[in-house]
Amino acid sequence: MFNAKSLLDALVNAGSQVGAQGGQAGGLGGMLGNLAQQAQQPGGLAGMAGQIFGQATQGVQDAARNTGVQQGATDIVGRFSGGKTPEQLIEQAKGMLGGNQLAAGAVLGGLGALIFGTSAGRSLAGSAAKVGGLALIGGLAYKAFQNYQAGKPLLGADQQAVLPPPSGSGFEPEAASNASALIFIRAMIAASASDGHIDEAERNAILGGLREAGLDAEANEWLTNELANPASVDALVEGAETPELAAQIYTAARVAINPDTPAEKDFLAGLAGSLGLDAELVANIDAAASAAKV
C-alpha cells in the first residue's frame, strides 16, 4: 500500500496555496487547461517545471536589482510555503512520488486546487497546513471536541492557531493509521465532489501529469478511482471505528470545502447525521475549520 499519510500532507500543503484564483473566471479551469497543454509539449512536465523555476529565478534577480534588496531564493520560497525550504517540500513528497519530484510538486498543486478550490476562494492558512495533514485534522477535531465538552462559546475567527493534539487524546497523528489517512482523503474528495465541481477533463489532465511525474502507480490508480467514484456517506461512515475517528472524518470533509451551495450543505449534514455527531459538536467543528481558512 502506498503512503497515504504523505499524500494527505501534500494535499493539505497544496490546499494552503489555492487562494482566490480558484473562484475567478477562468481561474482553476484555465490553470489546469494550460497545465494539460504544456504537459503535451516537448519536454512535458519536466520541461514545464524547469521553465517555472527558471522564470522564478529570473524574477528574484529582477526584484533584487529593482529594489536593492538582496534576499535568497530559499527565503522567498519559505514565505509561500509556511516556512519550508525547497528541500523540505521535496522531501515531503518522497513517500509517494518517484524520480521527478519537481514536476510532481507542480501537478500536486493542481490536485490540491481541484479538491480544495471553491467558489468562495478561501484556502487553508499557511500555519494550519504547516503542521501536516493528520495533525491539522486531528488538531481541529480535538479543539472542537474540547470546546464542545466544556460548553464554551463557538471558536472565533481570530483563533486560527492550529496545534497538534496531545498524546493520548486519541486525536494525535501517532494514533492514526495509513487506513485513517485514506478515509480522510476520501472524505475530502467526496465533499469536494458533492457540488459537482470536479470536472472530468481537469481530473484527467492532473492524473496524467502525476503519472508522468512519477507518482506511485498504486497511489495513482487509487486516486483515479476515487476521483471518478467519490465515496458515499455510508462508505465513509464504515471507517468511523471510534468517536475520535468519526469527528475527524467530518473535520476532513469540512476543511476541504467552504459550504456555500445547497449540495455541499446537504452532504455535510448527511455525513454528520450518519456519523452520529451531536449538533453542538458539529457546530464547533464548523467553526474550527472556518477559522483555519483565510
pLDDT digits (tens, 9 = 90+) for 46-97: 443 444 334 434 443 444 444 444 444 445 445 444 555 555 554 555 555 5
The count of C-alpha atoms lying within 13 angstroms of the C-alpha of 75, restricted to the half-sphere facing its C-beta, is 6
Grid coordinates given for 213:
511525474
Residue 186 and residue 256 in contact, taking contact as beta carbons nearer than 8 Å: no
| pLDDT of the residue at 112 | 75
Grid coordinates given for 191:
465533499
**Domain map (residue ranges) of the chain:** 4-291
pLDDT digits (tens, 9 = 90+) for 222-236: 998 999 999 999 999
pLDDT digits (tens, 9 = 90+) for 61-71: 444 444 444 44
Neighbour tally for 270: CB within 10 Å: 15
The CA R_g of the chain, rounded to the nearest whole Å, is: 19
| pLDDT of the residue at 117 | 66
Grid coordinates given for 54:
527558471
pTM value? 0.72
Name the pLDDT band for 237 (thresholds 50, 70, 90): very high
Name the pLDDT band for 184 (thresholds 50, 70, 90): very high
pLDDT digits (tens, 9 = 90+) for 127-176: 776 788 999 999 999 999 999 999 887 766 555 567 889 999 999 999 99
| CA distance to 62, 85, 267, per residue, from 145 (Å) | 49, 33, 21
pLDDT of 189 above 80: yes
